[in-house]
Amino acid sequence: MPPITTASLIQMKEQGEKIAVLTSYDASFTSLLEDAGIDVILVGDSLGMVIQGQESTLPVDVEDMVYHTRCVARGRRNSLLIADMPFMSYSSAELALKTAGHLMKDGGAHMVKLEGGATQLETVRQLTSNGIPVCAHLGLLPQSVHKLGGYRVQGRDDESARIMKEDAMALEAAGAQMLVLECVPTDLAAEISRELTIPVIGIGAGAGCDGQVLVLYDMLGITPGKPAKFVKNFLRHTHSVAEAVSAYVKDVKAGTFPAAEHSFE
């Protein structure tokens, strides 16, 4: 299997092939994900919660992300590797360049992900003009959870939906090569996916997106506490972690995950 690139992901979108994405934070899980045929691995700042036991992603720093990205890179073979830029590590275009360079040069990331819409356009332009691929992130923004007032579905009213659509198109125009939509109504997410030429990856955004992402520990049912509505425990009806990951990839590719019960209207 040839390595997955940003160009091959766009080709997958054009051909209607769903893109399967999972988070990973170490070499062993990464090797298992590769064996299952995962397309993209995200080293998420979600590690703050599922690895470090923090209450949110906010305490995660750049060195945490570089360390875990480097671990994942050692286990990676064919998938595209994306690393989150943690909270306050891209508050200016200059700082974003430094953070992204560290994640790519020292961590081995192929792409970096940042949260936000119109306020991040100049940063996206600066990164992409310097040869750094960018994945944008709209909808529920975990790094802005206190500003948003908690983990809530975004884009349910006409005005916020309009702004999200405009932000998505502007991010693509600025050079973003992928977009994550989190906790967004199904119809809105599907509309944005149709409008953009870059791949749109959903998490709690319905089956109309070009692909899906979940936190690995969530889809294995081992994250403490009550799971989010958009999470499915793939380990429950399988016999091993490897089978669970393979089932996830199969269901994403077939378009059977997420189902209606994992989505928002």
User: Which residues are catalytically annotated?
Assistant: 182
Query: Is residue 167 marked as binding?
Result: no
Give which of 28, 174, 12 is closest to 80, Cα–Cα: 12
Query: Is residue 34 marked as binding?
Result: no
C-beta separation of 86 from 43 below 8 A: no
Q: Do you find a cis peptide bond into 199, omega within 30 degrees of 0?
A: no
Query: Is residue 210 marked as binding?
Result: no
- Interatomic CA distance for residues 112 and 120, integer angstroms: 13
- The tokens describing 196, both together, are 């953009």
- Interatomic CA distance for residues 81 and 154, integer angstroms: 27
C-beta separation of 21 from 41 below 8 A: yes
Query: Is residue 26 marked as binding?
Result: no
Query: Is residue 45 marked as binding?
Result: yes
Which helix (H) or strand (E) covers residue 2, if one does?
A: none
- Interatomic CA distance for residues 104 and 40, integer angstroms: 16
Known binding-site residues for Mg(2+) equal 45, 84, 115
Known binding-site residues equal 45-46, 84, 113, 115
Known binding-site residues for 3-methyl-2-oxobutanoate equal 45-46, 84, 113
